[in-house]
Amino acid sequence: MYEKDIRNDEEMKKLLIEKAIEKLPNSYAPYSRYNVAAAALFDSGNIYTGVNVESASLGMTICAERNAIFHAVAEGERRLLAVAIVGGADGDRREYCVPCGACRQVMRDFGDKDSMIVISAKSSDDYMENTLDEMLPYSFGPESL
C-alpha cells in the first residue's frame, strides 16, 4: 500500500514522470502527431502507464491518461492518487501537457478531488501540479449520485 501523502513525495512524483517519459515513444499519433504518455499511481502502490492511441476514425482515439487508468481498473484498482502526463507535438516536451475534459472526468471517478494530483511535466525537474479539484472545479463525482 502507498501510505505517503503524494503531495509531499517528490521522489514518487519524479518516478511517475520518468515512467511516463519512458513510454512516450510508444504513443501512436499518426494523425495529430501529438504524442502523450501518462503514469498513474494507485493506492496499492502500483503504477500503470498508458499512451494515446489514435484511430483513423478519430472518435475512437484514446488518451494516454484514460488508457493508463482503464488498464489499472482492469487489474482491480479503484483508488487513484496521482497521474503524471508528458507529451507534445511530435513528442517534443516544450510545453506542459494537461488532460482533456474527458480524462479529468475519469480521474474524478477514481480519485479524491481534494487530494489526487495531476502532474504535467516537461521533465522530472520541470513540472507543475494541481489537485483534481483545481483542474475540474464544481465536478460531478460518484458521491453526486
CA dihedral of residues 79, 84, 90, 95 (deg, nearest 10) = 140
Q: CB-based contacts of 59: which residues, under 8 Å, 6+ apart? A: none
Give a yes or no: residue 143 inside a domain: no
Give a yes or no: residue 144 inside a domain: no
Residues tagged active-site? 65
Residue 44 belongs to domain spanning: 6-138
Decide if pLDDT at 144 tops 90.
no
Give a yes or no: residue 1 inside a domain: no
Give a yes or no: residue 104 inside a domain: yes
Give a yes or no: residue 63 inside a domain: yes
Domain tally, the chain:
1
Please, which pLDDT band fits residue 143 given cuts at 50, 70 and 90? confident
Find, among 2, 4, 93, the residue nearest to 47 by Cα: 2
Q: For 83-115, how does the pLDDT look when each residue is reduced to its tens digit (9 = 90+)? A: 999 999 998 999 999 999 999 999 999 999 999
What value does the mean pLDDT of the chain take? 96
CATH code for the domain in which residue 43 is found: 3.40.140.10
Give a yes or no: residue 51 inside a domain: yes
Please, which pLDDT band fits residue 75 given cuts at 50, 70 and 90? very high
Mean pLDDT of 36-45: 98
DSSP bridge partners of 121: 127
Give a yes or no: residue 145 inside a domain: no
Q: For 6-37, how does the pLDDT look when each residue is reduced to its tens digit (9 = 90+)? A: 999 999 999 999 999 999 999 999 999 999 99
- Alpha-carbon distance of 2 to 8, in angstroms, equals 13
What percent of the chain clears pLDDT 90, i.e. is strictly above it? 93
Entry pTM: 0.95
Give a yes or no: residue 82 inside a domain: yes
